[in-house]
Amino acid sequence: MQVALVTVGDELLAGDTVNSNAAWLGQRLAERGVSVGRTVVVPDDVDAIREEVGRLSERYDAVLVTGGVGPTHDDVTMDGVAAVFDRGIDEHEDAVAYFQRHDTYAAEDLTDGTTHLPEGARLLENPEGVAPGAVVENVYVLPGVPAEMKGMFETVADEFAGEGTYVEVVSVDAPESSLIDTVDALRDAYDVTVGSYPGEEVRVKIQHRDADTTREAADWFRERVQEK
């Protein structure tokens, strides 16, 4: 399964907020064997959301969109997603029913627009907050508040599954450039995916669908480098 992530928010583009949602979703999806092919950041703009979500929904099995969910002036994600599929936005009967049975929020206390979702959408309940999310075709719309996004994703996590991968990480006390030949030889010897990430040491991440292959490749690599 291949998916794309779209994170919405002017604050992300301005650097005022760190895009932790994309990092968390990428890790969580990888744990489930799902490949993230694209991560895109867009502003709080209906046309920008419509354009990116529309393009990605045609190329990927699913698109997860976070941010811009709710009834305030800059919460326009639902409008952008609805526009992709030529759907209107209106009061959603499932959202109304959700708040009617909610033991924390009374319907009359909600801000206007809280129960508005794209026509024909599937409601996603928000176990950590107020504003609901939605599924429209293959697009999942989640809140931008990290705790709410995580809680809502877990309600649909079982809908995201792929072929699992096994990972070994080798930390090397050497310049990344000195590992080029050894990494090339590793790829030649084993059909593994390799990534290298420099910092105080270089973290070399080795992945494969088979646990034995991953372990053998990591052992081969360790024998040839100065592991930290």
Q: Tens of pLDDT along 146-199?
A: 999 999 999 999 999 887 788 899 999 989 999 999 999 999 999 999 999 999
Digit-coded pLDDT (tens) for 118-139? 999 999 989 998 889 999 999 9
pLDDT: which is higher, 22 or 90:
22
Residue 87 and residue 100: Cα distance in Å, rounded?
Answer: 25
**What residue type is 184 in one-letter code?**
D
**Chain segment 216-228, per-residue pLDDT in tens:** 999 999 999 877 6
pTM: 0.81
pLDDT digit string, tens, across residues 58-106: 999 999 999 999 777 788 999 999 999 999 998 888 877 877 776 666 5
Range with lowest mean pLDDT among 13-17, 104-108, 200-204: 104-108
Q: What is the DSSP string of the chain?
A: -EEEEEEE-HHHHTTSS--HHHHHHHHHHHHTT-EEEEEEEE-S-HHHHHHHHHHHHHHSSEEEEES--SSSTT--HHHHHHHHTT--EEE-HHHHHHHHS-SS--GGGSPTTTTEEETTPEEE--TTSSS-EEEETTEEEE-SSHHHHHHHHHHHGGG------EEEEEEESS-GGGGHHHHHHHHHHS--EEEEE-SSSEEEEEEESSHHHHHHHHHHHHTTS-B-
Per the listing, tokens 């504003």 go with 131
**Residue 109, pLDDT score:** 60
Asked whether residue 107 carries a pLDDT value surpassing 60, the answer given is no
Q: For residue 99, what pLDDT is reported?
A: 75
Kindly indicate the confidence band of residue 110, based on its pLDDT and cuts at 50, 70 and 90: low
